[in-house]
């Protein structure tokens, strides 16, 4: 199985900060990676697909990059509504696997 190592597990940031979250795959997965945002008590929402494509309706302050084994989600200017938990998901091979999640909290 492909292991997804996500870091950091949590971070504290202020409104307006630039935030970067990383996912590392245990083997190459091309660009078969999505990023999801989850708020408490809610189902996840997809932000980025195919590593760098922005989901329709998602603000442009979110961006994704990477290929192979290293991937990054960047929030260019953190907004109050962005405080949530973020997950990467690889869909290169079965079983699909999520990263452990990154909780973004208010500093």
Q: Give the interface with another protein as residue ranges (CB under 8 A).
A: 1, 32, 34, 36, 38, 43-46, 49, 87, 89, 91, 94-101
Q: How far is the CB of 72 from another protein (least distance, A)?
A: 19
Spatial separation of the C-alpha atoms in residues 95 and 83, rounded to whole Å: 29
Task: Give whichever of 18 and 46 is closer to another protein, judged by the CB atom.
Answer: 46
Task: Give whichever of 79 and 93 is closer to another protein, judged by the CB atom.
Answer: 93
Cα dihedral angle (70, 76, 82, 85), rounded to 10 degrees? 10
As beta bridge partners, residue 65 has 72
Q: How far is the CB of 14 from another protein (least distance, A)?
A: 25
- Cα angle 95-96-99, degrees, rounded to a multiple of 5: 125
């Amino acid at each position: 199985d492909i292991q997804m190592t996500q870091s950091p597990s949590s971070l504290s940031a202020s409104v307006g900060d630039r935030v970067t979250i990383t996912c590392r795959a245990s083997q190459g997965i091309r660009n078969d990676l999505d990023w999801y945002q989850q708020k408490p008590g809610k189902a996840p929402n997809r932000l980025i697909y195919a590593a760098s494509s922005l989901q329709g309706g998602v603000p442009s302050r979110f961006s994704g990059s990477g290929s192979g084994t290293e991937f990054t989600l960047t929030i260019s200017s953190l907004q109050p509504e962005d405080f949530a938990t973020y997950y990467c998901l690889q869909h290169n091979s079965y079983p699909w696997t999520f990263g452990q999640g990154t909780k973004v909290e208010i500093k």
